[in-house]
Amino acid sequence: MPIPFIDLQAQRTRLGQPLEDAILKVVRSGAYIMGPEIGEFEKQLAAFGQAPFALSCGSGTEALVLPLMAWGIGPGDAVFCPSFTFAATAEAMPLVGASPVFVDIEPDTYNLDPQSLDAAIAQVKRDGKLTPRAVIAVDLFGQPADYPAIAEVARRHGLKLIADSAQGFGCTLDGRHPIHWADVATTSFFPAKPLGCYGDGGAVLSKDERLHDLLVSLRVHGQAVKSDIDGKTFEHDPKYLNVRIGMNSRMDTIQAAVLLQKLTIFADEIEARNRVADRYVQGLGDLVRTPRVIDGGVSVWAQYTIETPNRDGLAAALREQGVPSAVYYPIPIHKQGVYSVYPTAPGGLPVTEAKASQVISLPMHPYLTADDQDQVIAAVGAFVKTNR
């Protein structure tokens, strides 16, 4: 039987009848959009992520766009982000008319390099063509970025900081979630994520009540919220009083019901993912370059990514042994035609470009059995030893 890259069915089996009951409850209720499960999920998500507020939305991409809209970021503004990430990170800026500025990564964690960030901001300021407004740090492959250092740079330059935790929701640094340093933390609930639903979904965690209020409005077509109608008379549904340009970014109630069930086992799954990662290090540490987690960090291991100079050869050898693999990301964003027009940090992105040709991800999920993992390790080992 093939080894699954991510085993969502094992998780579904573990959750069992309560999961199916939760879905059926929503189906029977008829409250398919913004039903009561939405509010309960947002409450529990905020508590898990150590944030005062959480707002569910339609996708991880929209979770990034919403705070940019709330802050009035648009044409002529610069938002700094890594190029070694999924396109959604950079896509958020053009969607509001702003410009991404691509920054290099650290060679051991693959996350945003604070020194490259500082240099990029200084360069944009010298050029005078764009106004620096925000930074998006990515918790790539599940581990936290260097938030103390990144936040220091962002604050010194007066920029907002977004923690893009699409792959890393649940990760911590010195026991704290990214929202401790960031103005907002965003995530995706795409099914393959460590905390995933059964469709599309996302969320924005925040600390500022006024900002959360704006996000609530922007999520539903710019509808009036309490702060908009205080002291005014409007006796109808506030969704018919539209006080700003927003979007339709509501999460389906069924997705919230699924996520409520998954939250009950999420902490345990994070521990299981780390046991799998530790076992990979034991088996592969002398053969290939294995991931290094930032000091004090706990990863949720969205992917387990190793480095090899013959990435394509290893991928082919693994396929022959029935072992799946994936490459994140073979073409950095700044090298793709539609994004190549945007600025990069001074000196370019040499680390990003080097890593893009070397990284390959192995099966990783909380239910990876010892026997399957041994097969993965043996297949990698056989290729490395043969091709040394």
Which residue matches tokens 């969704």? 239
Strands, E assignment, 37-96: 53-57, 77-82
The Cα 339–Cα 318 span in angstroms is 32
How far lies 11's CA from each of 121, 239, 259, in Å? 43, 38, 12
Q: Which residues contact 386 (CB under 8 A, 6 or more apart)?
A: none
Catalytic residues: 193
Contact 232, 46 (CB under 8 A): no
Q: Is the peptide bond before 110 cis (omega within 30 degrees of 0)?
A: no
The Cα 49–Cα 267 span in angstroms is 11
Instruction: Kindly report the number of other CB atoms within 10 A of residue 56's CB atom.
Output: 27
Q: Which of 51, 18, 286, 4 is nearest to 184 (CA)?
A: 51
